[in-house]
Structure 1
């Protein structure tokens, strides 16, 4: 099973430009995913679907999703607005007014969480949402992927990080630690590819399809701008989560054209043969 992920799309950043940069970058990622063989079984869109949460931006997103040959599972991020999202996607599930739902992916179960608190940049996860997640995890012991926008981690980047002692982080961690069949937390928000251990499982942050956040581990002073790089035009990113039947393996890639430096031809055949022969050996 192959699960694709795109995040932090930020459609509508240039609201009067139908050919805006973020739409172009999303299209490059989509084209790359559609060219895969095999194609993904489903696509996670993990929040900040739009820049300003406008109806027009969600309508653009709906047009993109309608052209895809696989299911799309959306989550909401801090740039999204629930009312406008549901105006365009009225059939999207709701639990207590939040976009939280389960998806049966055969050997895997996917649970999408809503960590949006409108007007707040960081995450939120109140007791009601936590109780819902706890109950869903308790009712099915299949390997489970938990999907959310905000990663509850400290990154080392002073302006794009989370307080590990925040109540919502401790609340979520308490639920995840109780359920050993959570094989991955899949998130966005940070505009970089990041992987870490968290709550007894692995947490993977997908790079954004919109421009990336610059890597910088220096402390940042909110009172003294120092001219550091903040947003950089690295390629539009995506993730692929491959279920082997035993483990979930996460790959990161970027959309757009890439120079091909080698192809599988007669020159490369001996290398392939050697690797496959070696892999088939058993130790005495």
Structure 2
């Protein structure tokens, strides 16, 4: 089972640029790279900040692009989205209790996997949100399937990254509510997020959490404290390559790969002279 994740496309940052918009071109390139791979994922999750401004026009452009995608896909909102407009353009998106959150069942037998896709959008708020209604839904879903391996997808990572201008406070109510909801549920294999525009790995209540880097430009890795009254000329956004991730569930193990998209030189291929090395590597498995 392979689940692809694309996040933070931010279509519409330059609305006047149309199809040539920097972010849209990066999104198109990322999707094209993913679809060109010899092994295709079973599902694609677009994990929020699909648009930069929540406009119907931007969602329509995304929809047009995704119409040619042969991989089944699902979407959840981020802070730059509009839940209402998103659901108007993507009316097939599942909802629960008025939020764009839902459960998916994938695979069978030992390959069975549940995905719980969560809605952390709050109008007018950059940081995350996870109200009592959403927490109650998550708790109910987890308690109903205590023995089924489960992965959570949420736009906002409920952790502090130490990039101050992107971070929530350490004890924000929504983060405490989220932690309460997942605590003690050993079936949760991983939490997958976006929002930060950087790769990040951490642990939430003993559960591994990973952040997939953005399609849109990256947040600069600067860990200095920030004084909002002093413009210190630090970098805040860098044009690093766009990314997507592949999450693999196989042999009772969940792993994630993060793939940058760009042009670079291939330094080695599996040619005839490489065969002895490969044979030796495979032979080690039999020892």
TM interval, shorter chain, is over 0.9
Deviation at 1:226, TM superposition (A): 0.4
Distance 1:166 1:137 in 2: 23
Provide the residue aligned with 2:52 in structure 1: 51
* 1:1-284 equivalence runs, <5 A: 1-18=1-18, 19-106=20-107, 107-140=112-145, 141-281=147-287
Distance 1:11 1:231 in 2: 16
The alignment partner of 2:39 has SS state of: coil
Deviation at 1:278, TM superposition (A): 1.5
Contact residue 191 and residue 209 of structure 2 kept, 8 A = yes
Contact residue 74 and residue 93 of structure 2 kept, 8 A = no
Aligned residues between the structures = 281
CA offsets, 1:29-65, max 9 Å, x none? 1111111121011111110000000000000111122
Contact residue 49 and residue 81 of structure 2 kept, 8 A = yes
Deviation at 1:280, TM superposition (A): 2.4
RMSD of equivalent CA atoms: 1.0
- Unaligned runs of 5+ residues in structure 2 are none
Contact residue 153 and residue 163 of structure 1 kept, 8 A = no
Distance 2:6 2:264 in 1: 19
Deviation at 1:183, TM superposition (A): 0.4
Deviation at 1:194, TM superposition (A): 0.7
Per the normalisation by structure 1, the TM-score is 0.96
The alignment partner of 1:16 has SS state of: helix
Per the normalisation by structure 2, the TM-score is 0.95
Contact residue 190 and residue 213 of structure 1 kept, 8 A = yes
- Unaligned runs of 5+ residues in structure 1 are none
Distance 1:69 1:145 in 2: 23
CA offsets, 1:159-183, max 9 Å, x none? 1122221111011111111311010
CA offsets, 1:190-238, max 9 Å, x none? 0001111211211010000010011111111111110001100110111
Contact residue 147 and residue 185 of structure 1 kept, 8 A = yes
Contact residue 164 and residue 170 of structure 1 kept, 8 A = no
Distance 2:24 2:38 in 1: 24
Distance 2:223 2:52 in 1: 26
Contact residue 59 and residue 86 of structure 2 kept, 8 A = yes
Contact residue 217 and residue 239 of structure 2 kept, 8 A = yes
Contact residue 94 and residue 101 of structure 1 kept, 8 A = yes
CA offsets, 1:80-106, max 9 Å, x none? 011211121122222222101011112
Contact residue 7 and residue 209 of structure 1 kept, 8 A = yes
